[in-house]
Amino acid sequence: MNSGRTVFAQLLDHLPAYQFQKCVAHYDGDRRLRGFSCWDQLLCLAFAQLTYRESLRDIEACLRAVQPKLFHMGFRGKVSRSTLADANEAHDWRIYADFAQSLIKIARPLYAGEPLGFDLDGTVYALDSSTIDLCLSVFPWARFRARKAAVKLHTLLDVRGSIPTFIEVTPGKIHDVNVLDQIVPEAGSFYVMDRAYVDFQRLYVFQLCAAFFVVRVKKGMQLRRRCSRPVEAAQGLLSDHTVVLAAPRSARHYPETLRRIRYHDREQDRRLSFLTNNFDLPALTVALLYKSRWKVELFFKWIKQHLRIKAFYGTSENAVKTQIWIAVSVYVLVAILKKRLELEPSLHQILQTLSVTLFEKTPILQAFHDADSKVSLPASPNQLNLFDL
């Protein structure tokens, strides 16, 4: 029954349009409509992300080339680079941030059964940030260094499915640890972080909320050992100690005991030390938990390679944040599509197929089956496939 509709229109069926209109109404986004609504802006920038358009002129030229199909794809306003530029300045970026969170709430249950690779029932989150470099003369509001501008993408990733659950876009000079103030820990969940997030006053909040954390030990950290547990040296474990903080200020901020685990990573021949407030998990599971943090690094590399978030269509803070949040929405939308349609290709292959079939009038499932039968995309050992098990 979808044979007369474009693949792009069928893709939009997986967007909760009613929820989007609620987000628009909450921020009065269409108050200055001028023939180009927030929905039109979402469709234009989603198209730009899916097809990797390079500029507003590029978006305008491509969409005007298929003008007769635009109405049936959901566009109501006239697409031009001036109206799109005005929309990027006028429409509040929080509309698209809230809508992305709505998509995340849809996606997470779809991936709730994904295996972690080790035995653990709780939810595992990986927290990290990635810096996007900008030109200071073009983006003066995002000053990072004396001659450099940047924004940071702070992300809390659900390791099951690699779905981002919390994202904060800040100027580059904001330190990573500050984002801990905005995270409400979930009881029983695990939060895996690197050394940049070692702040014992903030980490104690996780302890008070009955949540668990795993962080790297900083060089020079003063710890006093209380007792030791036996470990399996054959598994790469070096020690498992109960410790307390020896520095007076740190001990005042975190007065309870911690667990320090030393581990030898044989693949890279390096020794790692972890701190956690969980005393029940096997020591090897704690080491594997920290290893799962690599998924948030893969997430950053993936979206920078395959979505448009390193070059921007506008120069204002509102335009930059709008583009980033719509890119996140597209990422989550394709992840939803993969699960709902039970697609076998990787997320990258799905994006490649969508980029060349958006205007085809064929059932969306047939588009992927045809792509599988006609084109065999080469598997590169350097290609990052977040959803491959």
Asked whether residue 182 is domain-assigned, the answer is no
Q: How confident is residue 389, by pLDDT bands cut at 50, 70 and 90?
A: very low
Co-location of 13 and 76 in the same domain: yes
Question: What contacts 35, CB < 8 A, 6 or more positions away?
Answer: 77, 78, 83
Asked whether residue 158 is domain-assigned, the answer is no
Q: Cα-Cα-Cα-Cα dihedral of 263, 267, 268, 271, to 10°?
A: 10
Cross-strand pairs, 261: 240, 274
Report the number of secondary-structure helices (H) and strands (E) in the chain.
14, 10
Query: Which residue do the tokens 């997320």 mark?
Result: 347
pLDDT > 70? residue 213:
yes
Print the domain residue range for 260.
Answer: 209-280
Over residues 49-75, the mean pLDDT reads 85
Per the structure, the count of domains in the chain is: 2
pLDDT value at residue 214: 95
In percent, the amount of the chain with pLDDT more than 70 equals 93
C-alpha separations of 244 from 48, 205, 211, 222, 226 in Å: 52, 17, 19, 9, 7
Q: Which of residues 255, 280, 305 is at a domain's end?
A: 280
Q: Which of residues 228, 262, 280 is at a domain's end?
A: 280
Asked whether residue 107 is domain-assigned, the answer is no
Q: Which of residues 264, 280, 296 is at a domain's end?
A: 280
Co-location of 23 and 87 in the same domain: yes
Cα angle: 135, vertex 138, 143; to 5 degrees: 60
Asked whether residue 144 is domain-assigned, the answer is no
We report the CATH number of the domain holding residue 268 as: 2.20.25
pLDDT value at residue 377: 42
pLDDT value at residue 2: 53
Co-location of 325 and 261 in the same domain: no
**pLDDT, tens digit, 9 for 90 and up, residues 256-267:** 999 999 999 888
Higher-confidence position of 347 and 190: 190
Q: How confident is residue 62, by pLDDT bands cut at 50, 70 and 90?
A: confident
Q: Which stretch, 67-81, 264-278, 324-338, has highest mean pLDDT?
A: 324-338
Question: What contacts 18, CB < 8 A, 6 or more positions away?
Answer: none
Over residues 56-85, the mean pLDDT reads 83
Please, are residues 177 and 128 in contact by the beta-carbon 8 Å criterion? no
Asked whether residue 274 is domain-assigned, the answer is yes
The CA distance from 80 to 59, in Å, is 8
Q: Residue 320 has what DSSP assignment? A: H
Asked whether residue 201 is domain-assigned, the answer is no
Asked whether residue 48 is domain-assigned, the answer is yes
Co-location of 261 and 321 in the same domain: no
Q: How confident is residue 240, by pLDDT bands cut at 50, 70 and 90?
A: very high
Co-location of 271 and 331 in the same domain: no
Handedness of CA 77, 79, 83, 84 (dihedral sign): positive
The CA distance from 262 to 283, in Å, is 9
What is the rounded average pLDDT for all residues in the chain?
87
Tell how far CA 367 is from the center of its chain. Answer: 27
pLDDT value at residue 234: 86
pTM above 0.85, yes or no: yes
Asked whether residue 245 is domain-assigned, the answer is yes
**pLDDT, tens digit, 9 for 90 and up, residues 7-50:** 888 998 999 989 999 999 999 887 766 668 889 899 999 999 99
